[in-house]
């Protein structure tokens, strides 16, 4: 149990540093520390599926961010923060905190399953009948691709739409650059 609190403190410190530092590369590295810390957290909570996905996506995102920040001329953030933006974010965080108190009270204790408190929860059905109904040894895969395949279809659609949007937006500029290659 102690390892979770150590990881939580590590993640919170890294997140605060990532927001507060003026060095762009340092901020990117702190974002990576947050991602790897949460992936370790998933691993200790016995969710290897999510841990694998988190660590792989984190590595790819870090590569992109580091390549994007390291070749810029300006790697330091200059100027002060806007007063209005700070006020708005503090108010929003306070409202979410107030709503979160009610939600956290209704959650089960850390590390216990949901169906310990709600016996009719759907996850009990997945665990007890997942192998018989879908035939997959990995219950997470049986939930993702059989019981809740609509979610996966939506996820694939989101990715597809994102690709279409990115290529359409970047196309005009790309053509211009391709016609006049590196000088």
User: Minimum distance from CB of 149 to other proteins (Å)?
Assistant: 4
Locus of tokens 């009270």: 105
CA 175/CA 181 separation, integer angstroms: 10
Contact (CB, 8 A) for 109 and 118: no
Please say which residue, 103 or 168, places its beta carbon nearer to other proteins.
168
Please say which residue, 16 or 170, places its beta carbon nearer to other proteins.
170
Please say which residue, 9 or 70, places its beta carbon nearer to other proteins.
70
Binding residues for other proteins (CB under 8 A): 48-49, 51-53, 56-57, 59-60, 63-64, 67-68, 70-72, 131, 134-138, 140-142, 144-146, 149-150, 152-153, 155-156, 159-160, 162-163, 166-167, 170, 173-174, 177-178
User: Minimum distance from CB of 97 to other proteins (Å)?
Assistant: 32
- Measured between alpha carbons, how far is residue 129 from residues 3, 126, 148, 149, 150 in Å? 33, 6, 14, 17, 20
Helix (H, G, I), strand (E, B) or coil at 21: coil
Helix (H, G, I), strand (E, B) or coil at 73: coil
């Amino acid at each position: 149990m102690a390892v979770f609190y150590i990881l939580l403190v590590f993640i919170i410190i890294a997140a605060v540093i990532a927001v507060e530092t003026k060095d762009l590369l340092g901020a990117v590295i702190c974002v990576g520390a947050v991602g790897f810390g949460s992936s370790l957290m998933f691993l200790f909570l016995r969710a290897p599926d999510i841990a694998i996905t988190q660590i792989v996506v984190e590595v790819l995102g870090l590569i992109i961010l580091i390549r994007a920040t390291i070749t810029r001329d300006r790697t330091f953030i200059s100027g002060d923060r806007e007063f209005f933006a700070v006020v708005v974010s503090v108010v929003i965080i306070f409202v979410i905190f107030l709503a979160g108190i009610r939600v956290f009270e209704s959650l089960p204790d850390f590390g216990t399953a949901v169906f310990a408190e709600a016996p009719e929860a759907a996850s009990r059905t997945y665990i007890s009948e997942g192998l018989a109904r879908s035939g997959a040894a990995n219950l997470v895969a049986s939930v993702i691709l059989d019981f809740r395949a609509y979610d996966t279809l939506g996820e694939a659609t989101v990715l597809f739409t994102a690709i279409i949007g990115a290529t359409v937006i970047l196309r005009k500029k790309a053509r211009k650059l391709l016609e006049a290659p590196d000088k």
